[in-house]
Amino acid sequence: MNKQIKGLILAAGFGKRLRPITDFFPKPLVPFFGKPILIHAIERLSHFAISKVAVNLCYKKERVEQVLEGVNDSELFLIREDPILGTGGVLFLVDGWLGDADLFVYNGDIVSDMDIAEIVEQHRKSKAEATMVVLPQNIKGTTPVFIKKQKSKNSETLLALSGFGNRATTKEQDETERGGVLSSHTLACAHVLSNEFVKNAVKKMSWSRLSGGYAVSLVDVYGWALARGDLVNIHIHRGFWKDLGTAEDYWSGHQTILKEAETKHTRFLKINKLFFKLNKKEWFLSGKTITRSGARIMNPCFVSNSAKLGKGANIGPFCVLNQGVSIEKGAKISNSVVFPGTSVLEEEILEGVILGDGFRRAIIQKR
């Protein structure tokens, strides 16, 4: 009989890389195609029957709690941090709530189509203490995750965590310097942690240090596990994945999905089915150039039906207009994301901009 699995969504960060947006919105409530990033994460876990979910909060936590009061499909356990404990330190407060269940950990600032059921199944078959999800390659500027082939407790060969590095290396350098490491990858910010793994991590922590501001990361926790000789299985995610932690990545995440919608790519259809659950009474996804309320909308665009569109406005391509947006007459908007309740002035021109009530962030687009 399979063990119960509960979820943990990491949502306590300050969102410094997303400023000035996060000066006005806590990162978990930043909208992605009309819905807060955190709600997307909760729904992804719920889709795979993980309905008991812990969420850690810190920055502007009262606003996040207000939104979470409307979540009915999941049983939420809110962890209010002050000071922030780190992505690993939060396990100290999760342990008692966890009981004897295993834990699926998911960052609150990513969006993906990862198959959580497949990841959990692979974890259980591996008999490993933990499973880390990684991307197929190392992304420049991120800490490399090194993997190697290793025998499982079932004497089967699998990919396992070897360690972390400060730089990407070639395969030949890896094999020479790191004892048979195959390749370097990037964390996909999702993990399956066995109950024993969590409890061993907590034993290494001190509440007096955590409450005094000594944060512990999950990288620290994995380091302790490797030192113990734990087996950390690796799952490589090859589908859609986007970190929304910077303004540039937040903007490009919208652009990527709109481009796939434009081509009706089969991957977009999968994302649309599992990820968006588009309510046609509230939203429409423009697949062709149309005229609406005297405004011209060029595909692809994702527009709230509550948006007010002025006569002669030109919208698109590649725009997302959230709930309650007001576009005055003659405005021109392309390659931009407009936050809920924001007004675009008469004859105003937006090109490659994230716009909200109180902030404007221009994006330098690669040609």
Position 118 scores a pLDDT of: 95
CA-wise closest residue to 33 among 274, 292, 250: 250
Residues near 273 by Cβ (< 8 Å), separated by ≥ 6? none
Amino acid at 231: L
| pLDDT score for 160 | 87
User: Token pair for residue 146?
Assistant: 């090194």
Q: Report d(CA 10, CA 108) in Å as an integer.
A: 5
Cβ atoms < 10 Å from Cβ of 115 = 16
Residue 325's contacts (CB-CB under 8 Å, 6 or more residues apart) are 304, 306, 307, 308, 338, 339, 340, 341, 342, 343, 344
How many angstroms separate the CA atoms of 11 and 18, rounded? 14
CA angle 76, 80, 82 (to 5 degrees): 165
Q: Which of these, 48, 45, 42, lies nearest to 28 by C-alpha position?
A: 42
Other Cβ atoms less than 10 A from the Cβ of 343: the count is 16
CATH of region 5-243: 3.90.550.10
- Identity of the amino acid at 355: L
Do the Cβ atoms of 124 and 1 come closer than 8 Å?
Answer: no
Q: Which two tokens stand for residue 206?
A: 């001190």
Cβ–Cβ under 8 Å, residues 323 and 305: no
pLDDT in tens, the chain (367 residues): 468 999 999 999 888 888 899 999 899 999 998 889 999 899 889 989 899 999 999 888 899 988 998 887 778 999 998 888 999 999 999 999 999 999 999 999 988 888 999 999 999 999 999 999 999 888 887 778 888 888 777 767 788 898 887 543 444 344 434 455 567 889 899 999 999 999 999 999 888 788 787 889 999 999 999 988 999 999 999 988 889 989 999 999 898 888 876 665 555 445 555 445 555 555 566 556 778 788 899 888 888 888 899 999 999 889 999 999 999 999 999 999 999 999 999 999 999 999 999 999 998 766 5
Nearest to 7 by CA among 86, 82, 79: 79
311 in Cβ contact with 292 (< 8 Å): no
pLDDT score at 173: 42
Helix (H, G, I), strand (E, B) or coil at 198: helix
Amino acid at 128: A
Phi, psi of 333 (to 5 degrees): -135, 130
Contact between residue 325 and residue 340 where contact means Cβ atoms under 8 Å apart: yes
**Which 3 state secondary structure label does DSSP give 228?**
helix
pLDDT, residue 176, reads: 36
Give the Cα-Cα-Cα angle 81, 83, 89 (nearest 5 degrees).
70
Per-residue pLDDT at 177: 42
Q: Torsion angle of alpha carbons 256, 251, 38, 267, nearest 10°?
A: 0
User: Is residue 130 a contact partner of residue 197, using CB atoms and an 8 Å limit?
Assistant: yes
Encode 26-61: b = buried (16+ Cβ within 10 Å), e = exposed. Answer: bbbbbbbbbbbbbbbbbbbbeebebebbbbbbbbbb
